[in-house]
Amino acid sequence: MKKLLVVALLSMFTMGAMAQHRAIGARLSNILEVSYQREAGSSNFWEFDAGVWNNLKGTQVSAVYNWIIASPDWSPKGEWNWYLGVGGAAGIDWNRYNVEKDRDELGVFVGVAGMVGLEYTFWFPLQLSADFRPVVGPYFGDGVSLNGDVLLHALWPTLSARYKF
């Protein structure tokens, strides 16, 4: 009886994990990132991204929790979603030029990431989206300052393509 209960519980956990939708792909802008999404409830999802920016002079990772705020019925097939989220980001800028010292410097940044976007999931397993994800927080280089470069890079719209499974 105990073995049957253990097998039943493991089966339920496995089916629950498999029932959650996931997507993997790329985000393209002046930031090039690998992107992974995981459903977190019926109308929410996590997005995890990691990539390079600033002509391969920096790297960044982020995790954002998104809420689907509207799902307009704009097409007979597929699904449209507007989403809004908040999370965190961190990264390294290893080739930031300091004009006063006439040299490149290493810097680290952390911050709060906000996200707003629109996605379309086709009737086959492809998802396309466009979004903005600014990151605001301190930059630690030669002193502490606002991460203005990171914020400027994030203000460009980002296009994403993901395989949804």
DSSP string, 101-139: TTEEEEEEEEEEEEEEEEEEE-SSSEEEEEEE--EE-EE
Model pTM score: 0.82
98: pLDDT confidence band, cut at 50, 70 and 90? low
Reduce the DSSP state of residue 75 to 3 states and report it.
coil
Residue 47 near residue 35, CB atoms below 8 Å: yes
Q: How confident is the model at residue 11 (pLDDT cuts 50, 70, 90)?
A: very low
Percent of the chain with pLDDT over 90: 58
Confidence of residue 96 (pLDDT cuts 50, 70, 90): low
Question: What percent of the chain is modeled with pLDDT above 70?
Answer: 79
Give the domain ranges of the chain.
2-164
Average pLDDT along the chain: 84
Task: Identify which has the larger pLDDT, 102 or 73.
Answer: 73
pLDDT of 15 reads: 42
Q: Decide if pLDDT at 152 tops 50.
A: yes
Given the candidates 2.60.120.10, 3.40.1280.10, 2.60.40.10, 2.40.160.20, the CATH classification of the domain at 2-164 is: 2.40.160.20
Cα atoms in the 13 Å half-sphere on the side-chain side of 22: 10
Q: How confident is the model at residue 106 (pLDDT cuts 50, 70, 90)?
A: confident
